[in-house]
Amino acid sequence: MFIILINYTKPVEEVNAVLADHRAYLDTLYAQNKLICSGRKNPLTGGVLLSNAKSRVEIDEIIKNDPYNIKGVADYEVIEFTPGKYHEKFKEFVE
């Protein structure tokens, strides 16, 4: 499982110009069962994605194709982890 931290590198106005494309891209990832959840950071300095992609290579491909990356408005930090404990309703994402 992966946490992808998105950090804006441009003013929010420039990021917002790409937001609709970014959200449409996220919709495709949800349809492919590659994302569990996503949202903006508070304060608004970027976003967070929780992914159950199968490999770091797959995560790198997700980042490569993100409109935020393509337009150069964000950087990414990836944290890979293995859930040791989780709520029973989360089980389908872990196994």
The mean per-residue pLDDT over the stretch 30-53 comes to 97
Confidence band (pLDDT; 50, 70, 90) for 13? very high
CA atoms of 70 and 19, how far apart (whole Å): 12
Average pLDDT of the chain, as a whole number: 96
Domain encompassing residue 13: 2-94
Pairing relationship of beta strands 74-80 and 46-51 according to DSSP bridges: unpaired
User: Is the pLDDT at 95 greater than 90, yes or no?
Assistant: no
CATH of the domain at 42: 3.30.70.1060
Distance CA 44, CA 83 (A): 27
pTM of model > 0.75? yes
Instruction: Quote the CA–CA distance of 1 and 42 in Å, as a whole number.
Output: 23
Specify the number of domains making up the chain: 1
Is residue 93's pLDDT more than 90?
no
